[in-house]
């Protein structure tokens, strides 16, 4: 039985860090585990310009410095690098894209179909309106990061990713054959199959929760709001397909936690927010999933190699080590004057990241 795994220091290619006190509460969790992260732009107001991205980056660096000063991080953790993104809107211009790309600080542009998820109301209403921006992104080599669900209320919630492939992804790939596209947090066999064989530079992130759980987790003995995220967990056949894709060794699939913190009281209410908080135990959750597939030897590629290669960034220096050592996930953590429930809080994990 494998007792220890050492990996090149990994990155998180899809992360929500929030802002203000919430940012301060969660930053150390990610910086302890990952060298870099692609930071989602769906804060309020959304990060739609280079100036907003640079200002947000400064707030993240200030929160990191505060965590370091409070003894929450060592020097390695404090060297965490946020990789900024822009929020694509109907009004994003080609000039906005060229400026963002030239800054060297913006590493992707996020497409949220308007209304698809948390803080997506400023998102794209008609993809045709974004074609000048997409053309500029293709020219600059700036990746498009896609929340791949249609918002059509006539489409069943569980089918929205599959329908998005036909209605949006395929035309997009045809019209922009050289555009780098990341299909974010895929949740279905359909998306895994699509990404494995899609033309052009196409990749996908996969969360730990979609590798570990199917939709039964949402209703185990009652409604379980801390397992509710978007795209929602799917049936077991889809989880199996995602696990197969993640452990296949294909460089098109890499780690993106989609850790999406919401205060406990905003999850445990009549209309709770979508998002699973996995930053504190992300690597341990992924190791658990890869071990289930008897593929721990494939974790390094997925977590540390394929993401930088797709984004055109150097792989990290240094390593992290996971050891087999059971520990209990905290049931609750402090969060912006409130509390937050990490995914599977109170349960035991067999793997632990060594300090
Ligand atoms: O579950 C989710 N939460 N999915 C998203 O796409 C957004 C995220 C959030 O920001 O809370
Ligand atoms: Zn997300």
Tens of pLDDT, residues 26-61: 999 999 999 999 999 999 999 999 999 999 999 999
Please state, in angstroms and as integers, the Cα–Cα distance from residue 261 to each residue in 3, 17, 310, following that order. 31, 8, 27
Ligand 1 close to Cβ of residue 217 (< 6 A): no
CATH classification at residue 22: 3.20.20.140
Nearest Cα residue to atom 3 of ligand 1: 275
Query: What is the CA(258)–ligand 1 centre distance, in A?
Result: 7
Tens of pLDDT, residues 137-194: 999 999 999 999 999 999 999 999 999 999 999 999 999 999 999 999 999 999 999 9
Q: Are strands 253-255 and 202-206 parallel, antiparallel or unpaired?
A: parallel
122, 89 contact by CB (below 8 A): yes
Whether residue 79 lies inside any domain: the answer is yes
Phi-psi region of 20 (alpha: psi -120 to 50; beta: other; left: phi over 0): left
Q: What is the pLDDT of residue 28?
A: 98
Whether residue 354 lies inside any domain: the answer is no
Whether residue 3 lies inside any domain: the answer is no
Ligand 1 close to Cβ of residue 267 (< 6 A): no
Ligand 1 close to Cβ of residue 18 (< 6 A): no
Whether residue 103 lies inside any domain: the answer is yes
Query: Would the pLDDT of 260 be above 90?
Result: yes
Query: What is the CA(22)–ligand 1 centre distance, in A?
Result: 15
Ligand 1 close to Cβ of residue 260 (< 6 A): yes
Query: What is the CA(276)–ligand 2 centre distance, in A?
Result: 10
Ligand 1 atom closest to residue 261's alpha carbon, by position in its atom list: 11
Whether residue 312 lies inside any domain: the answer is yes
Q: What is the pLDDT of residue 265?
A: 98
SS3 sequence of the chain: CCCEEEEECCCEEEECCCCHHHHHHHHHHHHHHCCEEEECCCCCCCCCCHHHHHHHHHHHHHHHHHHHHCCCCCHHHHCCEEEEEEECCCCCCHHHHHHHHHHCCEEEEEECECCCCCCCCCCECCHHHHHHHHHHHHHHCCCEEECCCCCCCCCCHHHHHHHHHHHHHHHHHHHCCCCCEEECCCCCHHHHHHHHHCCCCEEEEECHHHHHCCHHHHHCCCCCHHHCCCCCCCCHHHHHHHHHHHCCCCCCEEECCCECCCCHHHHCCCCCCCCCCCHHHHHHHHHHHHHHCCCHHHHHHHHHHHHHHHHCCCCCCCEEEEEEEEEECCCCEEECCEEECCCCCCCEEEEEECC
Q: What is the pLDDT of residue 118?
A: 79
Q: Measure the CA dihedral 133/138/139/140, to 10°.
A: 90
Nearest Cα residue to atom 10 of ligand 1: 118
Q: Which domain holds residue 234?
A: 10-318
Mutation probe of ligand 1 site: the residue of 184, 207, 229 with most atoms within 8 A of C-beta: 229
Whether residue 2 lies inside any domain: the answer is no
Q: Whole-angstrom Cα distance, residue 27 to residue 66? A: 10
Ligand 1 close to Cβ of residue 188 (< 6 A): no
Query: Tokens in use for 251?
Result: 């460089």
* Total tally of structural domains belonging to the chain: 1
Whether residue 326 lies inside any domain: the answer is no
Q: What is the pLDDT of residue 145?
A: 98
Ligand nearest to the CA of 115: 1
Whether residue 172 lies inside any domain: the answer is yes
Ligand 1 close to Cβ of residue 207 (< 6 A): no
> What pTM was estimated for this model as a whole?
0.98
């Amino acid at each position: 039985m494998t007792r220890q795994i050492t990996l090149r220091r990994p990155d998180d290619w899809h992360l929500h860090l929030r802002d203000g006190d919430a940012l301060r509460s969660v930053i150390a969790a990610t910086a302890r585990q990952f060298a870099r992260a692609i930071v989602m732009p769906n804060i309020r107001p959304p990060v739609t310009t280079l100036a907003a991205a640079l200002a947000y980056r400064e707030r993240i660096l200030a929160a990191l410095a505060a965590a370091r000063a409070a003894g929450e991080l060592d020097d390695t953790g404090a060297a965490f690098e946020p990789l900024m993104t822009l929020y694509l809107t109907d009004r994003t211009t080609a000039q906005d894209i060229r400026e963002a790309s030239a800054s060297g600080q913006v590493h992707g542009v996020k497409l949220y179909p308007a209304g698809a998820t948390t803080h997506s109301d400023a998102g794209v209403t008609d993809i045709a309106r974004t074609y000048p921006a997409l053309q500029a992104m293709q020219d600059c080599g700036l990746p498009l990061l896609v929340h791949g669900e249609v918002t059509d209320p006539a489409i069943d919630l569980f089918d929205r990713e599959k329908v998005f492939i036909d209605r949006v992804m395929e035309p997009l790939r045809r019209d922009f054959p050289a555009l780098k596209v990341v299909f974010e947090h895929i949740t279905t066999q359909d998306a895994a199959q699509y990404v494995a064989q899609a033309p052009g530079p196409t990749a996908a992130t996969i969360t730990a929760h979609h590798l570990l759980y199917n939709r039964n987790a949402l209703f185990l003995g009652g409604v379980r709001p801390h397992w509710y995220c978007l795209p929602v967990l799917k049936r077991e056949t889809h989880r199996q397909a995602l696990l197969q894709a993640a452990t296949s060794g294909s460089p098109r699939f890499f780690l993106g936690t989609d850790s999406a913190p919401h205060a406990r009281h905003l999850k445990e209410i009549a209309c709770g927010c979508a998002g699973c908080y996995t930053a504190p135990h992300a690597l341990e959750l992924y190791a658990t999933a890869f071990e289930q597939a008897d593929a721990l030897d494939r974790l390094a590629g997925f977590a540390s190699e394929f993401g930088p290669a797709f984004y055109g960034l150097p792989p990290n220096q240094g390593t992290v080590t996971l050891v087999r050592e059971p520990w209990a996930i905290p049931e609750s953590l402090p969060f912006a004057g409130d509390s937050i429930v990490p995914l599977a809080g109170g349960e035991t994990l067999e793997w632990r990241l060594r300090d």
